[in-house]
Structure 1
Amino acid sequence: MSIVVVGGGVAGVSVITELLRHTQETPHSIILISPSQTLKLASESEANSSANTNAASLLKEITIYDLTPDEFRSRFPKVELVRGSVTETDPSSHTVQVTLNDSLTDSSASRTIAYKQICFAVGAVPSPGPLPNPSWLSTSNSNSFVHTIRDAESVQNLKSLTEDTHIKKIVVVGNGAIAMEIVHALTTARASRDSEQRTNHVQNVDWVVRDRFLGHTLLDATAAAFILPSLTDRMRKLEDEFERNDNNSDSISNSNSNSNSNDDIEEEEVPRKKQRTGDNGNGNDNPPSRLKPVGAALGPYWFDKFRNATASPSSASPSSALENPFTNARCACHSCKPGFFCFPSAGFDPEMFSQEEKKGGGNLRVVYEAKIVAFREKGVAKFSLAAGLTETERGDAEKRMEGLRGAVNRSQILLSDDEVVDCDALIVACGVDSGYVIDSVLGEEGGRFFRRGRHGTLKVDKQMRCVGAGGDCFAAGDCCDLSDFEKENELFHQMQLWSQAKIEGSYTAHCMLGMDEELQSDFCFEMFAHQTTFLDKKVVLLGLFNGQKMGGKMNEFVMTEEGLAKEVSEGGGKVGGLVEPSCEVDMARNPPISSDKPAKSIVSTKKIGDGDVKILTRVKQEKEYVKCIVSGGRVVGAMLVGGAVDLADTMEQIMMSRINVDALDFDLLDDNIEIDEYFD
């Protein structure tokens, strides 16, 4: 019998990699079962490796490589790859039923595979969010009104949306990392077309979020206010750059026509920015054929792939993506409705926003503290209520819908503030759901053996064994519940991220081989650590960076509206933002170091609850943002944005060492003090 791994995403392939690494002398028969046309190989390196002196650092930079089945077989010749879907699991007989979908076999063929050990790393599917019927959520039907972004196939559908001249209004619902990148992709894709396409094809985007700020999954209000204004600047720079290119092209064209030359001029293709996702390690970009339908979720930096696919080679600027976009104020539009946060493109007029016929426009509007309560597709007379509504919300929506009967020539969405939005496409980016995938893999009979955790995930113990299914069934990645690790480790919490999928896969392989204690590989669950990039701004998140596991007072603090990303007078005073408006906050005096280096940093502290918890923040406008959460004198969480990521190694050591920092107070974040040398 064999060791079987189900799932070809980051977690599943990480299990395979570690199994092979430690079984060279005593080889096992290893089988990977995956329905995907693309498998995900994760490679990691320590963040800031040139400066990182902490050998045990938890921060890793992950690069995702896309492998076709043939490439996977070539790279892992000792592993049998079975292209198919598990439809039934029987722990009592140690077998799984697989429906094969390999092109070399009959699509209706099936196979029974016996296992000695099995690991489920099946990931998750997009959550239906407000949709009353999950079947409405389509990742493959390009004609569907509702869309999602999860894998390479759905990125192709997003590309089709941006090129469809019949689609003039797109609504995006969701407030996580994927939603942010989708909006970024939509707004910049329009600018990335050539001049004629931009003139004749204008798309407006409405972004509906239920929170008071954007990106609440991984950011706080200050970080959001610090990062997101780059959209405005990026869009303007793209427009200006392309306009210059168009003018240059016109000049060249006129010059050529005046010379009466009949020679064809061969345009030199502009080199594209190298992408980390799918890079083969030799600096070569993946060919377009890699953007084919796949089942595994997208890796980090998927937007680079989308941007390269949508940019016009003759007009794209190789430098525009590399310029620093963080120069504009938070919002350039002062006449929009309160509660909105808009990023106007050049020539934006709030009163003309609804006129989608307007030439040269294409605008983004963000609707805060709202959610979809009902919607109807084009040609349908009756609205459908959204899922997850309270009784009051249902009643209010039904009353509002009474006056909206009759077929319409565009799809419509009813928001909780009673606004009706006409649109041509709805993109749902409301997280992921593991329960559906697990149900389909276990089957009705097999499901009786497994204990389920949060959101339908598989409950696992400290050795990643599935609780209730005996000692031979394991799970890793998005489909498992790590609540046992959260209870034992104060600074750890589970999030469905690539960094965690990688370490879970590696650790699970060690557990399957009985090597976890020998390798002490559970160290990676001591503290949450993740680094990523939002709109080209580096972000490092450590521990309880948004006060996770710390109760309601902290949640209220994180969820406030604006943040401290603004100039504040030296020595303190009244500020708005993360603290309540007009609330007095202690401020550290930060005198100028010299005439040519004025102090623009703002350091503040705010006590939460009974005073045992306080938050230190430092903002250097347009450059960096630091937040430290201190509880009982120890730093238990940190968020570092922009240039502040250089503090990541120091903060990690402070947190892991449980150093008491009460005596330092403001000095912990004073940028006139070399805090890393202080602790060395």
Structure 2
Amino acid sequence: MSPLLASTPHHDTLRRTANTAMDESRTEEYTYIVIGGGIAGVTCAEHLYILHPEAQTLVLTASALIKAVTNVLSLTKTLDSFEVEEHHPDILQSKCPSVRVLQDAVDHLDAKNQLVFTSSGRCFSYQQLCLCTGATPKLLSEGPHVLWLRDTESVLQFQSRIKDARRIMIVGNGGIATEMVYEVTDVEVVWAMKDKHMSAHFIDPGAAAFFHPEVVKEKVECPAPSKRRKYTIDHSKVSRNSVVGGALGPDWLAGLELKGKTERHIIMEHEVEVRKILEPEQVRELQATVTHLSSEEGNSFSLGEDGGLLIDEKMETTEKNVYAAGDVCSHGWPAAPHWFQMRLWTQARQMGSYAAKCLWSAQVGEETYLDFCFELFSHATKFFGQKVILLGLFNGQGLDGKYEILLRYTQGVEYIKCVMVEGRMQGAVLIGETDMEETFENLILNQMDLSVYGEDLLNPDVDIEDYFD
């Protein structure tokens, strides 16, 4: 666990507070400081440079590598597809000359005096600060045969360990678990999930049935040449419990070979949880939990119901000039009818970009308004090699079961689901190359009454794009 995420000892906090005046004499000054080198933090820094290139920005990261969003393709007004690559910090610094990246762990934040202290003994002052520290895995227990997946380094550890494995257990039902089950070969997999169907965070039982044949069949390898530059870090300098990188991006499996020592076989165990481990080997649950700084003496952060740092519609925490973006925060404003927070790389990028605008506007005295991306939940990803688009209340979130479903389903080709309330579309799931995301986004946002179309809304012989685009 990073020093930023751990509770600072009480005596150390008092010592730092008492010595603030002494530290100020050797304080390095920056207009903006961003803590975190993941998707939210790097996006925030890049957009600060675009908005305020003459200002000095510092990015503090515990990792030797940072995450960068590349190959962005706009699909709709609120939805982008993109890739995430690991870069050396000097690439960001060359692209954004007023941005400096420093590999150092944060030891203490003194929000009252606007100072950041690092584990190497350095002190930095800021005018605006953005916390983008992300989340850490929620632990069940520890053991020599247990791995958790969060960043690239943990994935590489898993890759090296699976080579000698005949049977593994994957605990969790989110996106990483789903992709891992699909990618591993030559090994028996027990997939333990607490839900009634796989990937329940993203899809309904019908979509799970659509994907089921892809889970059990042997994966056909069709490797494509990689044109990306790969970076490595010195493993000898990284301890097992260190935070070594930002969260995995949408294409984290690219170029990895995950093979065991036997035939591939998938066993799915539904509605189960790890309660007790009888062997020395133990299990870690692949579920994220928010980490925060609330326990540090002298700071008074308010928390959301899910434990994240509570932020207002300007992304500011309850500490003045301290902002937050990405997995570490919880939104504190009344959400739009078709938006909700879900800790995904899509929202990390959106929040990082909007947080930069908020920091800049506070610094220069400009007014800013809540970004349009918060009008509609939207997420693009891939499961089992298929394109997946999630829009609005795609699983009927917050509707208390009072909705109807329109469904178009062709096994192995496409799965289209519309969530309808009184003839108006509230959400949608699009699996496959449907090319309907922009149309459905418009229908959710404008809340047009579609009752007259009935089930013909999804009739493949009716080109609804001509009506609603």
TM-score calculated relative to the size of structure 2: 0.86
For 2:181, give the aligned amino acid: V
Provide closer, same or farther for how the CA distance between residues 518 and 656 of structure 1 changes in structure 2, counting only shifts above 3 A: farther
Structure 1 partner of 2:90: 70
For 2:205, give the aligned amino acid: A
Q: Following the alignment from structure 2 to structure 1, what is the Cα–Cα distance between the partners of residues 199 and 408?
A: 20
1:459 to 280, 289, 310: 310
Provide closer, same or farther for how the CA distance between residues 207 and 482 of structure 1 changes in structure 2, counting only shifts above 3 A: same
Structure 1 partner of 2:249: 299
1:432 to 272, 285, 288: 288
1:444 to 285, 296, 316: 296
Q: Following the alignment from structure 2 to structure 1, what is the Cα–Cα distance between the partners of residues 366 and 460?
A: 41
**1:202-258 deviation per Cα after TM superposition (whole angstroms, max 9, x unaligned):** x322111111110001111111111231133343x45xx9xxxxxxxxxxxxxxxxx
CA RMSD, 1 decimal:
2.4
Note if 1:80 corresponds to 2:108.
Answer: no
Provide closer, same or farther for how the CA distance between residues 13 and 492 of structure 1 changes in structure 2, counting only shifts above 3 A: same
1:216 to 200, 203, 209: 200
- Secondary structure of 2:133 counterpart: coil
Q: Following the alignment from structure 1 to structure 2, what is the Cα–Cα distance between the partners of residues 463 and 655?
A: 25
Share of identical aligned residues, percent? 31
Contact kept in structure 2, 1:156 and 1:291, CA below 8 Å? no
Structure 2 partner of 1:636: 426
2:358 to 465, 489, 511: 511
Q: Following the alignment from structure 2 to structure 1, what is the Cα–Cα distance between the partners of residues 311 and 396?
A: 25
Structure 2 partner of 1:655: 444
Note if 1:374 corresponds to 2:267.
Answer: no
Q: Following the alignment from structure 1 to structure 2, what is the Cα–Cα distance between the partners of residues 155 and 12?
A: 21
Q: Following the alignment from structure 1 to structure 2, what is the Cα–Cα distance between the partners of residues 204 and 8?
A: 35
For 1:286, give the aligned amino acid: R
- Secondary structure of 2:255 counterpart: helix
Q: Following the alignment from structure 2 to structure 1, what is the Cα–Cα distance between the partners of residues 366 and 425?
A: 28
Q: Following the alignment from structure 1 to structure 2, what is the Cα–Cα distance between the partners of residues 507 and 498?
A: 14
Q: Which one has a larger percent helix, Structure 1 or Structure 2?
A: 1
Aligned ranges 1:29-428 → 2 under 5 Å: 29-43=56-70, 45-48=72-75, 57-99=77-119, 109-128=120-139, 131=140, 133=141, 136=142, 144-164=144-164, 167-186=165-184, 188=185, 190=186, 203-235=187-219, 237=220, 272-274=223-225, 284-287=227-230, 289=232, 294-307=244-257, 310=258, 361-378=263-280, 411=281, 426=283, 428=285
- Secondary structure of 1:299 counterpart: coil
- Secondary structure of 2:306 counterpart: helix
- Secondary structure of 1:11 counterpart: helix
TM-score calculated relative to the size of structure 1: 0.60
Q: Following the alignment from structure 1 to structure 2, what is the Cα–Cα distance between the partners of residues 68 and 479?
A: 23
For 2:252, give the aligned amino acid: W
Q: Following the alignment from structure 1 to structure 2, what is the Cα–Cα distance between the partners of residues 111 and 287?
A: 31
- Secondary structure of 1:62 counterpart: strand
Q: Following the alignment from structure 2 to structure 1, what is the Cα–Cα distance between the partners of residues 301 and 370?
A: 25
Aligned ranges 1:539-554 → 2 under 5 Å: 539-551=388-400, 554=401
Deviation, structure 1 residue 679: 2.1
Contact kept in structure 2, 1:95 and 1:114, CA below 8 Å? yes
Deviation, structure 1 residue 72: 3.2
- Secondary structure of 2:277 counterpart: strand
- Secondary structure of 2:60 counterpart: strand
Note if 1:21 corresponds to 2:50.
Answer: yes
Structure 2's unaligned 5+ residue stretches are 1-28, 239-243
**1:340-367 deviation per Cα after TM superposition (whole angstroms, max 9, x unaligned):** xxxxxxxxxxxxxxxx9xx953422111
Contact kept in structure 1, 2:106 and 2:118, CA below 8 Å? yes
Provide closer, same or farther for how the CA distance between residues 305 and 360 of structure 1 changes in structure 2, counting only shifts above 3 A: closer
**1:618-674 deviation per Cα after TM superposition (whole angstroms, max 9, x unaligned):** 112221111111123311100011132x11110011111111111111111111100
Structure 1 partner of 2:413: 623
Q: Following the alignment from structure 1 to structure 2, what is the Cα–Cα distance between the partners of residues 159 and 426?
A: 17
- Secondary structure of 1:650 counterpart: helix
- Secondary structure of 1:146 counterpart: coil
Q: Following the alignment from structure 2 to structure 1, what is the Cα–Cα distance between the partners of residues 262 and 322?
A: 57
Q: Following the alignment from structure 1 to structure 2, what is the Cα–Cα distance between the partners of residues 290 and 626?
A: 43
Aligned ranges 1:484-633 → 2 under 5 Å: 484=333, 487-514=334-361, 522-551=371-400, 554=401, 608=402, 613-633=403-423
- Secondary structure of 2:58 counterpart: strand
Deviation, structure 1 residue 169: 2.3
- Secondary structure of 1:214 counterpart: coil
**1:71-91 deviation per Cα after TM superposition (whole angstroms, max 9, x unaligned):** 333333321222111121111
Q: Following the alignment from structure 1 to structure 2, what is the Cα–Cα distance between the partners of residues 519 and 41?
A: 25
Provide closer, same or farther for how the CA distance between residues 650 and 518 of structure 1 changes in structure 2, counting only shifts above 3 A: farther
Q: Following the alignment from structure 1 to structure 2, what is the Cα–Cα distance between the partners of residues 20 and 360?
A: 51
- Secondary structure of 2:353 counterpart: helix
Q: Following the alignment from structure 2 to structure 1, what is the Cα–Cα distance between the partners of residues 306 and 335?
A: 21
**1:350-391 deviation per Cα after TM superposition (whole angstroms, max 9, x unaligned):** xxxxxx9xx95342211112222100333xxxxxxxxxxxxx
Q: Following the alignment from structure 1 to structure 2, what is the Cα–Cα distance between the partners of residues 517 and 169?
A: 58
Contact kept in structure 1, 2:35 and 2:61, CA below 8 Å? yes
Structure 1's unaligned 5+ residue stretches are 49-53, 100-108, 138-143, 191-202, 242-271, 276-283, 312-355, 379-410, 412-424, 555-607
- Secondary structure of 1:302 counterpart: coil
Deviation, structure 1 residue 114: 1.0
Contact kept in structure 2, 1:88 and 1:443, CA below 8 Å? no
Matched positions, count: 431
